[in-house]
Structure 1
Amino acid sequence: MAKSKRVIELMIAINQRKKFTARELADEFEVSIRTIMRDLQVLSELGVPLYTEYGPHGGYRVLRERQLPPITFSEQEAVAIFFAYQSLQHYGALPFAEESITALNKFYYYLPDDTKSKIDKMKQRVVFWTPKRQAPTPYLQSLLDAALQQQPMQILYDSKDGANQRTIQPIGVYSYNGYWYCPGYCFWKERYLLFRIDRVLSAEAAADGHRTVDLSGFSIMDWFKPPEEQPVIADEHIQIEAVLTSDGVRRCQWEAWNHTDMEVHEDGTGTVRMCIRPNEVDYFASYFLGFGPEVKVNQPAQLVELMQNLVAKMAQLYAPPK
C-alpha cells in the first residue's frame, strides 16, 4: 500500500477508537512498528492531536479536537457546501459560530481559482436572507449542549410577567425569522414550553441529582408536529377552526410556518383546523388579528373572546377624541 494512502487510512482508523497501541496498528496495516511510528509522526506534524501514555498499559490517544481525514468533492458539491455555509451569514448568533467561519475560510482557500471565481459571481446573485436581530444570545451554545446531554438547566427568563428563575430541560434549539428558540420541559410549570433564547438572562447546569425527563425519543423535529402526534407531550390540546377569504388563504400560504391542516375550497377561500397547546392561545390571538378582515375564528370560544377583547382595546385606542 502506498504511504499516502496508508496515512489517510491510518487517520480514519485512529479517529474511530479512543485508545490504541503502535503494535495494534502495525498488525492491522501489516507493517512494522517502526513504519507505524513514522506514520504517526507524519500525522502529528499535520496537526492530528496525539497524546502518548507511557507505562505497561500505555499507548496513544487522540485528543478531543480531532482532525478529520481529507475528503474529495466535485465542483458542484464544493459550490453547494459553500452556499450552505453562506446561508448562515445573516444570523446574529450561531452555535459553533467561530468554527463555521474558520471552516468556510479553509474551504474557500483551497478551492481552484476557477471555482472561486464561480462562487464569487454567484455570491452577487444568490442570498439566503433572514432578518438580523440585535438581541444577544449568549446562552445559545449552553442550551444546545444541555439538549445533547439531556441536562436540566437553571435559567433566569424574562417572561411577560417579569424575570423569574426556573429549571428547564431543553429538547433542542431552532431559528425562525432571525430569532433562536428553545423548546423544553419546564419543571416549574410542569409542562413543555417554548423559550426565546435572547430572553434567557442567565443559564447554568442544575444541581446534581435534579430530576430529569427522558427526551431521548423526542427530536427537535418532533416539536413541529401537531401536538397530538408528538411522542412525549401529553398536555391538553385546543382545537382551532378559522375561515379565511381568498386573500387570507394566500397570506396563510405565504407565511413561513406550515399550514398542512388548511383546506382550500373551489372558490379560493379556505378553512384552517389545527390543534394548539393552551399556552399558545395568546400568540394565535395576535397572529389571526394580523389578518384583519381576511379571517374569522369560529372556535375555540376562549380564543374568540380573547380576540374580541383585543379588538375592543384597539377600538378605544383609535377612537376619535371626545
Structure 2
Amino acid sequence: MNKTQRLIHLMMAVNERMQFTVKEMADEFGVSDRTMHRDLQELSELGMPLYTEFGPHGGYRLLKKRMLPPILFSEQEAVAMFFAFQSLQYYGALPFEAESTSALHKFYHYLPTDVRTKIDALKDRVSFWTPYRTQSSPFLQQLLEASIEGHPLLMSYASKEGIKQRTIQPIGIYASHGFWYLPSYCFLKEGFLLFRADRIISLEPAHSSQPSKDFRNYTIPDWLLAGAAYEGQPQPKLNLRVRLTPNGIRAYERSNGFNGALTLDKDGSGMLVADMLPDNLAYFSSYFLSLGADAIVEEPFEMVDWIREQIRAMQQAYEV
C-alpha cells in the first residue's frame, strides 16, 4: 500500500474509531510509530480535527466534526452535484446553509478549469425558479435536527389569532413555493398541525419532563400522502373528490400536495381523487378555495361547507 492509499484508509479508520493510540494504528497498518506520527500529522494539516490526550490512557481523539475521505466524481456527476444545490438558490433560508455554501465553494474550486467553464455557461441557461420570499426562517437546522432526534420543542408562534406558545415535536420539514413548512405533533391540541417556519418567533428545547412521541415510522412522505399509520393505529381518512377545469388542472400540477389519482377528460378538465387526514382539512380547504371556480370540491362535505361559508362571507363584505 502506497502512502496516498494509506492516508485514505487511515482517514476512514480514524472516522470509525474516534479514539485510538499511535501504536494501535501503527500495528494495524504495519508501519513504525514514527511513520504513523507523520501520517497523523499530515491528516491534521489537511483539516482533520485530531486532539492529542497525554497520560497513561492518552492517545488521539477525533473531535465531533468528522472529515470524509476523498470521493471520485465523473464530470457529469460533478455538474449534477453542483446543480442539485443550485436548485435551492432562490430559497431565502436553508438548513445547514453556511455548510452548504462552504461545500459548494470547495467543490467548485477543485474542479478542472474546463468543467468550471461548462458550469458557468450552464448557470446562464438553467434556473430552478422559486418565488422569492422576504420572510426569514432562521430555525430550519434546529427543526430538522429535532425531527431526526425525536426531541420536543417549545416555540413562540405568530398565528392568525396572535402570538401563541406551543410545545411541538416536528415530523420533519418540507419546502413549497418558497416557504418552509413543518408538520408537527402539537401537545396542546393532541394532534398534528401544519406550521410555517418563517412564523416562528423563538424556539428552544422543551422541558426535560416533556414526553416525546415515537415518529420513527411516521415520516414527511407519510404525512404528505395522508395515509400513514401512527403508533400502530390507522389514522382516520377523508375521501377527497375535486372537479378541476383545464386551468385548475394546470394550477394543481404546478403546486399539488396530494399523491392522488388525477383522471383527465378529453377537454383537458379532470377529477382529483385522494385520501386526506382530517388534520389537513383547513390547509387544503384554503388551497382549493384559492383556485376559485377552477376547482369544485365534491367531497368531503366538511370542506364543501367551509368553502361555502367563506364565499358567503366574501359576498357580504362586498355588498353595497
TM-score bin (small chain): over 0.9
Q: Give per-residue Cα distances to partners, 1:25-59, cap 9 Å, x unaligned.
A: 11211111221111111111222111112222222
Q: TM-score, with normalisation over the residues of structure 1?
A: 0.92
The secondary structure found in structure 2 opposite 1:16 is helix
Helix, strand or coil at the partner of 1:172: coil
- State the AA in 1 paired with 2:318: Y
In the alignment, the residues of structure 2 paired with residue 69 and residue 239 of structure 1 have an alpha-carbon distance, to the nearest angstrom, of 50
Conserved 8 A contact 1:242-1:297? yes
Q: Cα offset for 1:266?
A: 5.1
Verify the 8 A CA contact 1:154 1:167 in the aligned structure 2: yes
Q: Which residue of 1 aligns with 2:114?
A: 114
Which whole-Å CA distance do the structure 2 matches of 1:255 and 1:51 have between them?
A: 50
Please state whether the residue corresponding to 1:201 is helix, strand or coil.
strand
Equivalent pairs counted in the alignment come to: 319
TM-score, normalisation: structure 2: 0.92
The question of whether the paired residues in 1 share the 8 Å contact of 2:243 and 2:271 is answered with yes
Range that drifts further, 46-55 or 251-260: 251-260
Q: Distance in 2 between matches of 1:183 and 1:285?
A: 17
Contact 2:261–2:274 (8 Å) recurs in 1? yes
Residue aligning to 1:182: 182
1:37 aligns to 2:37 (yes or no):
yes
Partners of 1:169 and 1:67 in 2: how far apart? Answer: 31
Distance 1:103 1:288 in 2: 40
Corresponding residue for 2:10? Answer: 10
AA at the equivalent of 1:7: L
Deviation by residue 1:247-296 (Cα, 9 ceiling, x = unmatched): 43343334343453223345544222223233433333332223333332
> Structure 1: how far apart are the matches of 2:82 and 2:285?
41
Structure 2: runs of 5+ lacking an equivalent: none
* CA deviation string 1:161-199 (max 9, x = no partner): 221111111111111111111112111111111111111
Q: Which amino acid aligns with 2:135?
A: A
Mean CA deviation greater in 309-318 or 2-11: 309-318
Kindly provide the amino acid, as one letter, of the partner of residue 140 in structure 2: L
Q: 1:298-317 alignment to 2 at 5 Å?
A: 298-317=298-317
| Contact residue 48 and residue 67 of structure 1 kept, 8 A | yes
- Considering only aligned residues, what root-mean-square deviation do their CA atoms show, in Å? 2.0
**How far apart in 1 are the matches of 2:228 and 2:152?**
24
1:222, 1:231 within 8 Å by CA — same for their partners in 2? no
- Does structure 1 retain, via aligned residues, the 8 Å contact 2:91–2:178? yes
Tell me if structure 1 keeps the 8 A contact 2:224–2:257: no
Q: How does 1:211-290 map to 2 (within 5 A)?
A: 211-226=211-226, 228-232=227-231, 234-265=234-265, 268-290=268-290
* Whole-angstrom distance in 1 between the partners of 2:105 and 2:4: 25
Distance 1:101 1:95 in 2: 11
Preserved contact between residue 172 and residue 182 of structure 1 (Cα < 8 Å) = yes
| Identity, % of aligned positions | 48
For 1:229 and 1:47, the matched residues in 2 are separated by 44
Q: Name the structure 1 match of 2:86.
A: 86
Contact 1:191–1:235, Cα closer than 8 Å, also in 2: no
